[in-house]
């Protein structure tokens, strides 16, 4: 008989395990998925939200008539809204401008007030999402900032619930636990419990975007929401979450965006599980790990949220092609392979330095990206702040409008239009329009080359 609850809050937790029988068909070690998208708010963050609110009430930080405020990529905000509204609070959620539109719509549907802010600026910038919600907390009487990244009630939720559930569901036979690392609360709490319960025999694997700093990347942007540690190149102090304990994670599997996104799509098509892109990252990592194990091992991978929040992104063929994650049919690959190597100019360059770089740029035009000491993973489309043309710089120098040592900023043009490598030449020409000097071609969300107008028209 199905359970009967007095409140939706009583339905948080107790999620099932599903064996990934099709994706793991040729793998000796069984792989089970912890279906956290079946929580009442659609994600694992419901657990942390309930834990943080109850702790704040116990500690006197949140009082009747108060306001809950949080900065989020979406899921924690949804959990806090459900919990907060059920317990009589006003809820204001600051949402990253990189999050899917569906998440903001869901938040409003549950009764949250949504404030959109950027996370694409330095952490010290007053426009940064966290600084926006901090100001709101200071301005609103009775407001409480949940601060999931540093709130120890976040990992504690998983010590008390998620970890014990997995241990009981597997009869203590789990040998490997795989989870993405965002705030670090899930992997710290669940992984820490499983290590203790097993006497240290459970191996904890962090599934991480390839460029995330958790696993050793350069901190440049990626396209999987809700996991990883990003570092803006102009950030002065790099702060790591207090909810994350690095000693719990034994090893990281660093997963490229394309592998993550395709794994999320395979989950839906092969296993009947419509999950988000961070679930794809975790599943891709679990498959890598399980291939090296035997039939006596047992892998549990945590799927954080539902794919219903990403229908306009990872589960959209058009979006996947637009950002260069899908290549089907007659795309731009042949033109891209025949183009000259990409030349990218740093936003901090001088006019003279930019002109020198443009000597080898296709068509004399290049994207201008935020300065970064090294780009081992290339330039993401989200880092591009403008474009620059050789003719424009040469004319400015000839006319005396600029000097070689002047900053480039005043001569920047708008960013080049972008097209995915899987889009057609006709779509590239449409993006080019009548006046633009070229298009940036994206492969896996990163600028792989520039096709000048002459190559397309």
Beta bridge partners of 446: 380, 443
The pLDDT value recorded for residue 372 is 62
Position 168 in a domain: yes
164 in a structural domain: yes
Closest Cα partner for 438 from 364, 334, 355? Answer: 364
CB of 425 closer than 8 Å to CB of 332? yes
| The predicted structure's pLDDT at residue 376 | 67
Dihedral pair phi/psi, residue 63, rounded to 5° = -120, 160
Q: Are residues 170 and 99 in the same domain?
A: no
Q: How confident is the model at residue 379 (pLDDT cuts 50, 70, 90)?
A: confident
| Secondary structure letter of residue 306 according to DSSP | B
Asked if residue 264 and residue 156 are part of one domain, the reply reads yes
- φ, ψ of residue 429 to 5 degrees: the values are -65, -35
Q: How many domains does the chain have?
A: 3
Q: Known catalytic residue: 45?
A: yes
Q: What percent of the chain has pLDDT over 70?
A: 99
Residue with tokens 């790591």: 240
Q: Which of 101, 129, 145 is the last residue of a domain?
A: 145
* Whether residue 208 sits in one domain with residue 167: yes
What does the pLDDT read at residue 371? 66
Tell me: the pLDDT tens digits for 386-399?
999 999 999 999 99
**Which two structure tokens, joined as six digits, stand for 352?**
């003279």
Segment among 115-129, 145-159, 371-385 with least mean pLDDT: 371-385
For residue 8, is it within any domain?
no
pLDDT at 344 over 70: yes
What's the predicted TM-score (pTM) here? 0.94
pLDDT category at 237 given cuts 50, 70, 90 is confident
For CA atoms 158, 160, 161, 163, the dihedral sign is positive
Is the distance from CB of 429 to CB of 456 less than 8 angstroms? yes
d(C-alpha 87, C-alpha 77), whole Å: 15
Portion of the chain with pLDDT greater than 90, in percent: 83
**pLDDT at site 1:** 72
Sheet with 446-452, strands from edge to edge, namely 418-420, 438-443, 446-452
The pair of three-digit structure tokens given for residue 167, joined into one six-digit string = 């241990």
Strand ranges in 73-202 using DSSP code E only, listed in sequence order? 90-96, 113-117, 143-145, 176-180
* 281 and 187 belong to one structural domain: yes
The answer to whether the CB of 305 falls within 8 A of the CB of 37 is: yes
Q: Is the pLDDT of residue 418 over 90?
A: yes
325 shares a domain with 443: yes
- The tens digit of pLDDT for each residue in 258-280 reads 999 999 999 999 999 999 999 99
Q: Which residue has the tokens 């009442």?
A: 40
Continuous segment of H or E residues that includes residue 288: helix 277-290
pLDDT score for 340: 85
Residues 331 and 302 in one domain: no
The domain that holds 379 is classified in CATH as 3.10.580.10
- Choose the final residue of a domain: 254, 289, 309: 309
- Is position 6 within any domain? no
Q: Residues 283-308: what's their mean pLDDT?
A: 97
Q: Helices 257-266 & 277-290, crossing angle to 10 degrees?
A: 90
Confidence at residue 232, expressed as pLDDT on a 0 to 100 scale: 83
Residue 18 CB neighbours (<10 A): 16
Q: What angle do CA 229, 230, 235 make, to 5 degrees?
A: 125
Q: Which residues of 259-279 are buried (b: 16+ CB within 10 A; e: fewer)?
A: bbbbbbbbbbeebebbbbbbb
Within a domain: residue 33?
yes
Query: Are 284 and 372 members of one domain?
Result: no
Task: Give 232-240 contacts, CB < 8 A, sequence gap 24+.
Answer: 232/120, 232/121, 232/122, 232/123, 232/370, 233/370, 233/371, 233/372, 233/373, 234/121, 234/122, 234/125, 234/370, 235/122, 235/123, 235/124, 236/122, 236/123, 236/124, 237/123, 237/124, 238/123, 238/213, 239/123
What is the domain-level CATH number for residue 72?
Answer: 3.40.50.1100
Give the range of the structural domain holding residue 416, as residue numbers without chain letter. 321-456
- Beta strand segments in 136-183, E: 143-145, 176-180
Confirm whether 5 is domain-assigned: no
Residues 290, 417 within the same domain: no
Evaluate whether residue 1 is within a structural domain. no
Asked whether residue 406 falls in the same domain as residue 441, the answer is: yes
Q: pLDDT-based confidence at 123, cuts 50/70/90?
A: confident
| pLDDT per residue as tens digits for the range 55-106 | 999 999 999 999 999 998 889 999 999 999 999 999 999 998 888 888 899 9
Residues 280 and 418 in one domain: no
Q: Which of 95, 111, 145 is the last residue of a domain?
A: 145
User: In 10 A of CB 256, how many CB atoms?
Assistant: 18
Report whether pLDDT(318) > 70. Answer: yes
Q: Are residues 336 and 398 in the same domain?
A: yes
Say yes or no to pLDDT of 375 above 60. Answer: yes
- The active-site residue, picked from 45, 103, 195, 313, is 45
Lookup: tokens for 117 = 């802010």
Which string of b and e fits 106-144 if b means at least 16 CB within 10 Å? bbeebebebbebebbbebeeeebbbbbbbebbeeeeebb
Do 53 and 35 fall into the same domain? no
For residue 75, tell me if it sits in a domain: yes
Cα atoms in the 13 Å half-sphere on the side-chain side of 305: 31
What's the pLDDT tens digit per position in 126-185?
999 999 999 999 999 999 999 999 999 999 999 999 999 999 999 999 999 999 999 999
């Amino acid at each position: 008989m199905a359970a009967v609850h007095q409140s939706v809050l009583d339905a948080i937790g107790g999620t099932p395990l599903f064996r990934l029988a099709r994706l793991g068909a040729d793998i000796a070690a069984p792989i089970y998925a912890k279906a956290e998208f079946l929580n009442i708010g659609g994600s694992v963050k419901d657990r942390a939200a309930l834990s943080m609110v109850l702790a704040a009430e116990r500690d006197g930080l949140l009082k009747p008539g108060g306001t809950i405020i949080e900065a989020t990529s979406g899921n924690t905000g949804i959990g806090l809204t459900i919990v907060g509204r059920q317990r009589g609070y006003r809820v204001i959620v600051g949402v990253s401008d990189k999050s899917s539109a569906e998440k903001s719509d869901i938040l409003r549907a549950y009764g949250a007030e949504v404030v959109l802010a950027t996370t694409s600026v330095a952490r010290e910038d007053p426009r940064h999402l966290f600084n926006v919600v901090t100001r709101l907390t200071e301005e609103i009487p009775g407001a409480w900032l949940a601060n999931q990244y540093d709130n120890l009630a976040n990992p504690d939720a998983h010590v008390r619930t998620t970890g014990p559930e997995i241990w009981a569901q597997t009869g203590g036979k789990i040998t490997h636990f795989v989870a993405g690392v965002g705030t670090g609360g899930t992997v710290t709490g669940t992984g820490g419990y499983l290590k203790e319960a097993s006497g240290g025999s459970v191996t904890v694997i962090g599934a991480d975007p390839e460029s995330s700093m958790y696993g050793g990347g350069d901190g440049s942007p990626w396209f999987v929401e809700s996991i990883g540690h990003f570092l803006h190149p102009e950030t002065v102090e790099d702060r790591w979450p207090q909810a994350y304990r690095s000693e719990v994670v034994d090893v990281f599997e660093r997963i490229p965006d394309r592998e993550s996104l395709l794994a999320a799509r395979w989950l839906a098509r092969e296993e009947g599980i419509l999950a988000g892109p961070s679930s794809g990252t975790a599943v891709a990592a679990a498959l890598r790990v399980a291939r090296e194990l035997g039939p006596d091992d047992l892998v549990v991978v945590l799927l954080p949220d539902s794919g219903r929040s990403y229908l306009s992104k990872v589960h959209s063929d058009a979006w996947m092609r637009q950002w260069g994650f899908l290549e089907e049919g007659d795309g731009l690959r042949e033109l891209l392979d025949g183009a000259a190597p990409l030349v990218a100019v740093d936003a901090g360059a001088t006019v003279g330095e930019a002109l020198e770089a443009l000597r080898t740029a296709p068509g004399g035009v290049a994207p201008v990206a935020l300065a970064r000491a090294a780009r081992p993973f290339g330039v993401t489309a989200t880092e591009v702040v403008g474009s620059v043309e050789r003719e424009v710089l040469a004319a400015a120098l000839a006319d005396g409008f600029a000097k070689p040592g002047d900053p480039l900023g005043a001569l920047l043009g708008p960013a080049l239009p972008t097209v995915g490598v899987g889009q057609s030449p006709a779509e590239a020409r449409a993006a080019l329009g009548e006046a633009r000097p070229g298009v940036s071609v994206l492969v896996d969300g990163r600028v792989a080359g520039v096709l000048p107008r002459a190559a397309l028209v």
